[in-house]
Amino acid sequence: MTKLTTNPYKGVRDFYPEDMAAQRYMFDVWRMTAEHFGFEQYDASILEPSELYKSKGAVNEEMVNEQTYTFTDRGDREVTLRPEMTPTVARMVAHKRRDLHFPVRWYSIPNLFRYERMQRGRLREHWQLNCDIFGVDDVSADIEIILLANEIFKNFGAINGKQYNIHVSSRRLLEALYDALDLDTDARTAATRLADRKNKMEAVDFKAKMTEAVGNKASEVLTFLNADNINVVPDSVKTSEAYAEMKTLVETMKEMHCKVIFDPTIIRGFDYYTGIVFEVVDLDPENNRAMMGGGRYDNLTEVFGGEPITGIGFGFGDVTLKDFLISHDLMTTDIMSVTLAVLPTDLALNLEAQKIAQEFRVAGVATKVDLSGKKVGKKISLAGEQFVDYVLVLGEDEVKSKSYKVKDLIEGTEITGTLEELIEKLAN
């Protein structure tokens, strides 16, 4: 008989309890922070009709053509495992547009599937916090979304500028530059595609390719893409609304003590972005993938008919976040423990131990029982490794005398008393 592999499918992860504990910690901080900003949770199925990702302007061609998991169901429908959440949330908002009170602030933590070439920070299944605001075409919503992103990092104990940077740019500003240079559609598309790859190319190569794409306008495009702050972009874009919007964003964020870096090379691969775009990067060079990315998309709901509803939001991935937390020593490990472990000294005392544990649980103390046949010393050290705070060793003497000892594993102290006394102590 051929043996089956115990490995999971390529590019996905099994979540053992310690992985689940880390995931729960990350999701809890995500949820808590999103709700602190007034976002409401939504969800949907991982299955979507494939056409959702094929409509013009809806997504990113590379993703649709090369990275989706698509199959035909028994009823001949083409189905895709969702590679991202934005088309889904746009669909849901469009579906209920008449019943919703805008602005809508929604969040979700979906698992997403992309058939990617696997590398550090990139797998084939990941989870992503998505936060989006619909119905506000004003830079104040863009500011709120970036503040929320920053607040999440703060709540993980990270410091802006020390462990991560927030890079912002604007598709609208890029279009203003193209307008000023009078570029045609093909030149715009070619220049934008190239700009997206600027940081991966040699400067000479980049310049040559840009000249191929936009001819003698290349030097102005390069001046724009090399700008390291909003004040040094070419004068030709400084009269545009997009410039005023970007300047307001950068200056307001500064007033609010949230540093953002103007970086015109942030393009974001999806076709649906139309305004401010941003990414948060990890400053550990080992983690060279963006941790989150987002931006404004004005027309995505249009594909469902009716007037478009503008949206602004981000996706924040769990794989890159976990690498970030571990690299910067910010991962909390004390996240899967119970408060008390009851440790019978003999298998014959397991039932008695179970009864005592249940009394603690009823009083609100998270309690487990070590039902193994291990020696009691081993049981105590295991409880310590599992971050249990207290242990109660249960032997014949304790059962007979009804007087018990609880040891505080952190302080190294011990308290003795009746069950009622000890329960009261621990429950408080």
CA distance 318 to 323: 9
Which residues 122-151 are close enough to bind ligand HAM by CB under 6 A?
A: 122-123, 126, 128, 130, 132
Span near ligand HAM by CB under 6 A; candidates 33-41, 311-319, 366-374, 376-384 = 311-319
Q: CB nearer to ligand HAM: give 124 or 209.
A: 124
Which residues 312-351 are close enough to bind ligand HAM by CB under 6 A?
A: 313-315, 317, 319-320
Shortest Å distance, C-beta 210 to ligand HAM = 24
Q: CB nearer to ligand HAM: give 315 or 344.
A: 315
Q: CB nearer to ligand HAM: give 113 or 390.
A: 113
Q: CB nearer to ligand HAM: give 271 or 359.
A: 271
> Which amino acid is residue 282, in one-letter code?
D
Q: CB nearer to ligand HAM: give 150 or 320.
A: 320
Q: CB nearer to ligand HAM: give 183 or 292.
A: 292
Q: Which residue has the tokens 């920070």?
A: 121
Shortest Å distance, C-beta 116 to ligand HAM = 5
Shortest Å distance, C-beta 293 to ligand HAM = 3
Helix orientation angle between 17-36 and 139-155, rounded to the nearest 10 degrees: 140
Q: Which residue has the tokens 């669909």?
A: 91
Tokens for 154, please give them.
């703060």
**∠ Cα 63 66 72 (to 5°):** 100
Shortest Å distance, C-beta 28 to ligand HAM = 18
Q: CB nearer to ligand HAM: give 128 or 169.
A: 128
Tokens for 375, please give them.
């020696």
Indicate left, alpha or beta for 137 from its phi (over 0: left) and psi (-120 to 50: alpha): beta
Shortest Å distance, C-beta 288 to ligand HAM = 12
SS3 166: strand
Shortest Å distance, C-beta 283 to ligand HAM = 15
Q: Bridge-partner residues for 278, per DSSP?
A: 168, 294
Q: Within 10 Å of residue 295's Cβ, how many Cβ atoms?
A: 27
- Selected binder of ligand HAM within 82, 114, 368, 379 (CB under 6 A): 114
Q: Where are the beta strands (DSSP E) in 12-143?
A: 40-41, 47-49, 69-72, 78-81, 104-108, 111-113, 125-134
Q: Bridge-partner residues for 80, per DSSP?
A: 48, 70
Indicate left, alpha or beta for 306 from its phi (over 0: left) and psi (-120 to 50: alpha): left
Span near ligand HAM by CB under 6 A; candidates 22-30, 120-128, 357-365, 367-375 = 120-128
Q: CB nearer to ligand HAM: give 118 or 232.
A: 118
How many chain residues are in contact with ligand HAM, going by CB under 6 A?
22
Q: CB nearer to ligand HAM: give 128 or 310.
A: 128
Kindly tell me the burial class for residue 339, based on how many C-beta atoms sit within 10 Å of its own C-beta (0-12, 13-18, 19 or more): middle
Which residues 70-99 are close enough to bind ligand HAM by CB under 6 A?
A: 84-86
Shortest Å distance, C-beta 60 to ligand HAM = 8
Tokens for 383, please give them.
């409880």
Which residues 245-304 are close enough to bind ligand HAM by CB under 6 A?
A: 290-294
Q: CB nearer to ligand HAM: give 93 or 291.
A: 291
DSSP labels for 19-50? HHHHHHHHHHHHHHHHHHTT-EE----SEEEG
Shortest Å distance, C-beta 201 to ligand HAM = 20
DSSP 160: B
Q: Which residues of 127-161 are buried (b: 16+ CB within 10 A; e: fewer)?
A: bbbbbbbbbbeebebbbbbbebbbebbeebebebe
HSE, CB side, 13 Å, CA atoms: give it for residue 78.
8
**Nearest residue to ligand HAM, scored by beta-carbon proximity:** 317
Q: Which residue has the tokens 């005398």?
A: 401
Span near ligand HAM by CB under 6 A; candidates 33-41, 245-253, 308-316, 330-338 = 308-316
The yes or no reply on residue 39 touching ligand HAM (CB under 6 A) is: no
Q: CB nearer to ligand HAM: give 85 or 343.
A: 85
Helices (H), ranges, 135-170: 139-155
Please report, as ranges, the residues that interact with ligand HAM according to CB under 6 A.
84-86, 114, 116, 122-123, 126, 128, 130, 132, 290-294, 313-315, 317, 319-320
